[in-house]
Structure formats: C-alpha cells, structure tokens
Amino acid sequence: MNDGAAAAGRGLNGARVLVAGASGVLGGLAARELQARGAAVALAGRNPDRLADVAAGLGGAPVRGLDGYDLDGCGTLAAWAVRELGGLDGVLVTVGVAGFGRVEEVPNAAVEHLFTVNMLCPATVLRGAVGGIADGGFLAAVTGAIVDRPMLGTADYAAAKTALSCWLGVVAREGRAKRLRVFDFRLPHLDTGFSDRPVTGRPPTLPQGGDPAVAVRALVDRLEGAAPAAR
C-alpha cells in the first residue's frame, strides 16, 4: 500500500498522519509539530471554526468533523484519511473531556459522556485504523498521568482513561505481527484550560500546569522514534 515512512524508522518526513481532536489545544499543537517535521496531516475535530483555523495555519490540510457520540463516524475516520492522504502511517487521538465530583454526585448522563468521549470515541477511531494503517505505523492516544495516580473526585474520568489505556495495551500486543507502534501518552496536568471545560462538576485546585508546547514536542519526539513506544 505504501512504504510506511514513519514506520520504518525514517522519522516523520513523508509520513501520513491523522490527528483526531485537532480543534483542541494539544491536537492543534501536535498537528503543527507533525507538519513541521515533514508529515502530511489530515485533521478531524468537533469545533468547525477552530478546526478551520488550525487547517489554515497549516496551509490547508484536509478536515473532517468529529462527534464523539457518532461512533460510526469515528470508525470511518481512518478510511477518510487514507483517501485524503493516499495512505496512513499514523493516528494520534487527542479527544477528551474532564469531569469532576464525588461518585454519588455525578449524573448518569455525565458518566455516559465521560466514557463515550474518553474511551469509546478514541478506541473507535483507532480500531477503524488498524486494517488500513501501514505496517510499522503508529496508533496513539492521550490518556493522562491520572491513569497512574487517580485523584479523588475524578473516578469516572480516571476510569474511562484507564479503560482506554488498557485497551491500547492489548492493541499493542495484537499489533505485533504488523509491527504497529502503540502509544499511551500519560501526560501530566498542562496549561491548556482542559480542566476548566468539564462536562460535570468543578475542578479541584490544581497546581500550575506544564507548558503544552514542550509536552507536545516530547510526544512527537516519541512518535518520530526518538524513544521507544510506551508498551
């Protein structure tokens, strides 16, 4: 299907990468960093204006809407990216939403939302890519340090991210024959405003977040092959 530029350890130059969540802060930064390192990117996101801004900043990358509740749409995103880019060497999913509150305070609708956006949507996007991605390509998602250190008042958010993390671990093992590289990016708290946009509750007092641009450069270093995959 293609020569799998990223996959074969030749870095990101010429790699074709889908970024799902490109309308968000980390997704937008990652799309820019990937392109700066020579990748061709296809962008998916929910907010059409922010998605268009990111695409325009990249000189007109292909864009497609992404609704976390439309799992059929999530599942066909990779096929769209293959058509747009002429193949696919990597997928990075940065979709996510926070939610806070003691477990007895969190409404069922918010629990469903947290699991849909943080687990089902990313897993469905990546599942849809397994068959079409080049041998040695990468599948990546941002989970969070919360997987290792769940905080009080985040049970459902942390559980959804942990479920995604577990899922990624199994995909990594299933993908060995295809030399798939699977990344579970457990990023620390970053200064993106993410925790101020929860679907439910209010965030606890958090320390100053880290620099998102620094974190994204390190993440893309990993994708580029400067460091081994997480699992």
Ligand X SMILES: NC(=O)c1ccc[n+]([C@@H]2O[C@H](COP(=O)([O-])OP(=O)(O)OC[C@H]3O[C@@H](n4cnc5c(N)ncnc54)[C@H](OP(=O)(O)O)[C@@H]3O)[C@@H](O)[C@H]2O)c1
Q: Report which DSSP code applies to 201.
A: S
Interaction between residue 117 and ligand X (CB under 6 A): yes
Tell me: does residue 197 bind ligand X (CB under 6 A): yes
* Nearest to ligand X of 1, 69 (CB atom): 69
CA distances from 21 to 41, 47, 60, 122 (A): 12, 9, 17, 9
Position 18 contacts ligand X (CB under 6 A) = no
Cα three-residue angle 40-85-177, rounded to 5 degrees: 90
Q: Give the list of residues 6+ apart from residue 170 with CB closer than 8 angstroms, or none.
A: none
Which of these segments, 25-33, 75-83, 171-179, 223-231, binds ligand X (CB under 6 A)?
Answer: 25-33
CB atoms within 10 A of CB 120: 20
3-state DSSP call for residue 109?
A: helix
Packing angle, helices 108-115 and 155-174, rounded to 10: 30
Among 2, 12, 16, 27, binds ligand X (CB under 6 A): 27
CB 197 → ligand X: shortest distance, Å?
5
Q: Which of residues 80-99 bind ligand X (CB under 6 A)?
A: 94-97
- Contact window for ligand X (CB under 6 A) among 82-90, 125-133, 148-156, 190-198: 190-198
Q: Rule CB under 6 A: is residue 182 a binding residue for ligand X?
A: no
Segment near ligand X (CB under 6 A), from 10-18, 42-50, 128-136, 167-175?
42-50
What Å distances lie between residue 77 and 6, 167, 216, 225, 230, CA to CA?
Answer: 20, 19, 23, 24, 24
Q: Does 142 engage in binding with ligand X (CB under 6 A)?
A: yes
H or E element in which residue 140 lies: strand 138-142
Residue placing its CB nearer to ligand X in the complex, 2 or 116: 116
Among positions 10, 46, 178, 217, the unique one binding ligand X when judged by CB under 6 A: 46
d(C-alpha 123, C-alpha 174), whole Å: 14
Query: Would you count residue 3 as binding ligand X (CB under 6 A)?
Result: no
Interaction site with ligand X (CB under 6 A): 21, 23-27, 45-47, 50, 66-68, 94-97, 117, 142, 144, 187, 189-190, 192, 194, 197, 209
